[in-house]
Amino acid sequence: MRDVAVIGVGMNKWGELWNDSHRTIWTDAALKAIEDAGVDRVDSMYVGCMSGGLFVGQEHLGAMLADQLGMGPIPGTRVESACASGGLAFRLAYMEVASGMSDIVLASGVEKMTDVDGAAATYALSTAADQEYECFHGITFPGLYAMMARVHMSRYGTTQKQLAEVAAKNHANGSLNPNAQFPMKVTAEQVMNSPAVADPLRLLDCSPITDGAAAAILVPLDKVKEFTKNTPVRIAASAHATDTMALHDRGDIAAIESTARAAEKAYAQAGIGPKDLSFCEVHDCFTISEIMAIEALGLVEKGQGGAAAESGLTALSGKMPVNPSGGLKSKGHPVGATGVAQVYEIVNQLRGNSDKRQIKDAHWALAQNMGGTGASSLVHIFERLS
């Protein structure tokens, strides 16, 4: 298999984009990535989207978006792994370039979530969990993560304030990100005093409903110079793992086992360990998710995730910055796009283009994107080349 590099990335300002449609939001991000890469063609494209059917009444998204880009008859492939759909699209684009099948591949993700009302959006999101054994009995995602949080708190002494500190940190980072949906700063007190959604999770512990897209251009590493003068970013590892759909089938619901399994493979492929990373983008769909993710990635010991934001370890200026982009919490969470937007942040950071939230001398970075309550996880590791 060939080494693969990312040479272009694009995304738009995320939010409630009522003047734009699913297809125009996506096309905007895709064209920005193509322009950033400086390529004049794409050989194949992937799009991650969780539920075009339930959110906008449109499936067949690979063909639709290849057409929208004016690039038919190129292959257009839509993939889905709930909130990890973007990470999965990125992995398949990586595989297509690595295999030698294609040279210039677009990886992208999109979700338009605000064209339906809140109840319909909650239903659509619930299709990421086990409908027959979980959701049909009444639970929704905040409830599932609340149960995971309760076990974490009871077993490891994680506190409500520690959850809130994750939100405060990510909003502080997001306040420096012009693409963030909610770029306001919040204090841990404001998070703890926000309305309860599913105890212990408060409104400000939850990521929002968002419209948005992101895209990246992948090429073989040894052909980078043919296409661009940008600093290339090498994909050092790509890993994908699954776990049971339903929480009741898991040995431990206070851990994200699929992330741990994917991370193990990814570190082995990259030949590095968690201590070598300059920073990470992780899947903070709820504040407890970031805590469990950094434990699964080995950034902290199991049970120590709660202290990480509180102690400043994961702050922008900390020893291991997590979610410099603002994360899903502040940047927004258009479910199909999130995994590719993590790559957008990482590529810009590794190029040194992240302005006020730039992490100094960043060299290795990791993206962790997960679906549902962690039934699927994608982990990618990136290296700056220069």
83, 135, 206, 285: the active-site residue? 83
Q: Strands 4-11 and 44-48: what pairing?
A: unpaired
HSE toward the beta carbon, residue 319, CA cutoff 13 A: 8
If one asks whether residue 311 binds a second copy (CB under 8 A), the answer comes out as no
Of 46, 87, 38, residue with least CA distance to 66: 46
Closest to a second copy by CB, 92 vs 294, is 92
Burial annotation 306-331 (CB, 10 A radius, 16+ → b, else e): bbbbbeebbbbeeebbbbbbbbbbbb
Among 25, 371, 379, 382, binds a second copy (CB under 8 A): 371
If one asks whether residue 270 binds a second copy (CB under 8 A), the answer comes out as no
- The least distance separating a second copy from the CB of residue 225, rounded to whole angstroms, comes to 24
If one asks whether residue 127 binds a second copy (CB under 8 A), the answer comes out as yes
| HEC per residue, 88-117 | HHHHHHHHHHHHCCCCCEEEEEEEECCCCC
If one asks whether residue 249 binds a second copy (CB under 8 A), the answer comes out as yes
Distance CA 291, CA 295 (A): 7
Give the tokens for residue 344.
């957008």
Verify cis geometry, omega within 30 degrees of 0, for the bond prior to 208.
no
Tell me the window of 30-38, 81-89, 196-204, 271-279 that interacts with a second copy (CB under 8 A).
81-89
If one asks whether residue 107 binds a second copy (CB under 8 A), the answer comes out as no
Among 35, 38, 99, 226, binds a second copy (CB under 8 A): 99
Q: Please confirm, yes or no, whether 83 is among the known catalytic residues.
A: yes
Among 123, 203, 302, 359, binds a second copy (CB under 8 A): 123
If one asks whether residue 128 binds a second copy (CB under 8 A), the answer comes out as yes
Closest to a second copy by CB, 165 vs 243, is 243
Tell me the window of 137-145, 180-188, 227-235, 258-266 that interacts with a second copy (CB under 8 A).
258-266
Q: Please confirm, yes or no, whether 240 is among the known catalytic residues.
A: no
Of 375, 340, 353, residue with least CA distance to 235: 340
Find out whether 319 and 325 touch, Cβ atoms under 8 Å: no
Show contacts with a second copy in window 19-78 (CB under 8 A). Answer: 21, 23, 50-54, 56-64, 66-67, 72-78
- The least distance separating a second copy from the CB of residue 116, rounded to whole angstroms, comes to 12
DSSP state of 32: H
Taking only Cα atoms into account, the Rg of the chain, rounded to an integer number of angstroms, comes to 19
Consecutive H or E run containing 345: helix 338-351
Cα-based distances in Å from 268 to 6, 73, 265, 381:
21, 38, 5, 11
Find out whether 36 and 259 touch, Cβ atoms under 8 Å: no
Binding-residue total with a second copy (CB under 8 A)? 63
If one asks whether residue 375 binds a second copy (CB under 8 A), the answer comes out as yes
Enumerate residues 6+ apart whose C-beta is below 8 A from 134.
Answer: 144, 245, 246, 247
If one asks whether residue 5 binds a second copy (CB under 8 A), the answer comes out as no
Closest to a second copy by CB, 52 vs 332, is 52
Among 31, 101, 184, 196, binds a second copy (CB under 8 A): 101
If one asks whether residue 134 binds a second copy (CB under 8 A), the answer comes out as no
Three-class DSSP category at 382: strand
Give the tokens for residue 29.
């991000």
If one asks whether residue 100 binds a second copy (CB under 8 A), the answer comes out as yes
Among 28, 130, 281, 295, binds a second copy (CB under 8 A): 130
- The least distance separating a second copy from the CB of residue 217, rounded to whole angstroms, comes to 18
If one asks whether residue 93 binds a second copy (CB under 8 A), the answer comes out as no
Which residues are known catalytic residues? Answer: 83, 333
Binding-site ranges for a second copy (CB under 8 A): 1, 21, 23, 50-54, 56-64, 66-67, 72-82, 88, 92, 95-96, 98-101, 123-124, 126-132, 135, 240-245, 249, 257-258, 261-262, 371-372, 375-376
